[in-house]
Structure 1
Amino acid sequence: MVKEDWILEGDFNAIMDDAEKVGGRRELRVHMKELREVLEELALVDIKTARGWFTWVNNRDGNDLVKERLDRFVMTTNAVSIFPFIETNVIRQTKSDHDAVMLDTLGRKPKEKQKDPRLFFKFDAC
């Protein structure tokens, strides 16, 4: 278990579940389980992306196209309280098969109170 607060990024060359892959052969369940076990053992959590999802594409056409989420940021569970609004965004790269993943430690705070859209209605008696 990692006791310090860490944020790590990289090409993990593995997916965590079937939702992280489109096309191609199915990934072996044992590989997905191994990645999840390593993250759990080190008390690391995956930072989901706010925009974009797949970070690698094989740049083929039609049925040969494969997309996977291989690149990701992970952080220690302790660091979640330090960066409660952290988010990542996938930025498409045209000259590479891997997209860039940008980390925003400030993120977007959720709006405290959503205003009722009916309050914006204006009526003018003419």
Structure 2
Amino acid sequence: MTRISREAENTVNQVIVYDQSKEQADGISNEGEHAECEIRSPYVQIRVLWEELSLLGLTTEAWVMGGDFNAVTSTAERKWGRLPYRTAGNEFVNFINANALLDSTNLGFNFSWSNRRHGNSRMLQKLDRILVNKKWLDAATGWRSRILQRRFYDHSPIIGWFTSIPKPHNIPFRFKTHWIKHESLKVLVKKSWDEPLEDIPIRKTMKKLKRLKETLKIWSWETFGDLRNKK
């Protein structure tokens, strides 16, 4: 899985790419599991950012990219104020299309940034979003993301989540009440508990409980079958 984050400080945009394949592109310094590059101009040299990321070849794996991109994809993503910078928007759209990315941030508020002004000077834009590719959507069943309400800053927080949570492999053991009615349960428990086991007292008790749990699971399957398919 690949994770990309973007941090901005003054006029310098820093992009950090985390890639499990540890691939390296020309013009990006690669150290360990991350690569870094700096873009000095948010408008003239921002195309270098898209080119460097595209060269990493991340479209072959499931990946997600989120943050403040400082660009809109259309005039519909800006409300009030002057028209958006067309070149920056077109290059951002080209990057999205070239890497077969999808904007998953389609829930919540329409705009993620405000200049915090009022009246004729007010401006709203969708600068923040989460981009994913198809392999990410296939791996992350039910993936959704939402723009939340702004409270203290000019940017809105964005949250992403899975609507379908996979069942954990290590499911807690549960004693079934109908087991008590079975005549062989008491004999089974006594036989498992009385079986010799060498260790200090506290660890001996824990090991016996673990052994009994596995014994009961096998016994339940052999006696009652697969209870998950029974109503």
TM range (shorter): 0.7 to 0.9
Q: CA RMSD in A?
A: 1.6
Same amino acid, percent of matched pairs: 25
Instruction: Give runs of ≥4 in structure 1 deviating > 4 Å.
Output: none
Deviates more, 1:1-10 or 1:54-63: 1-10
Counterparts of 2:129 and 2:115, CA distance in 1: 18
- Counterpart in the other structure of 1:110: none
Q: Does 1:82 align with 2:143?
A: no
Q: Does 1:32 align with 2:89?
A: yes
Give, as a single letter, the amino acid of the residue that structure 2 aligns with 1:70.
Answer: L
Query: What is the TM-score when the length of structure 2 is the normalising length?
Result: 0.44
- Per residue, is there more helix in 1 or in 2? 2
The answer for unaligned runs of 5 or more in structure 2 is 1-56, 165-231
Q: Secondary structure, in 3 states, of the residue corresponding to 1:32? A: helix
Deviations 1:58-117 (A, max 9, x none): 01011110000000000012222233532211112321000101112227xxxxxxxxxx
Counterparts of 1:48 and 1:101, CA distance in 2: 8
- How many residue pairs are counted as aligned between the two chains? 107
Counterparts of 1:71 and 1:28, CA distance in 2: 16
Query: What is the TM-score when the length of structure 1 is the normalising length?
Result: 0.77
**Who wins on radius of gyration, i.e. which is larger?**
2
The answer for unaligned runs of 5 or more in structure 1 is 108-126
Answer 1 or 2: higher relative contact order, Cα 8 Å, separation at least 6: 1
- Counterpart in the other structure of 1:10: 67
- Counterpart in the other structure of 1:23: 80
Give the Å deviation of 1:52: 1.1
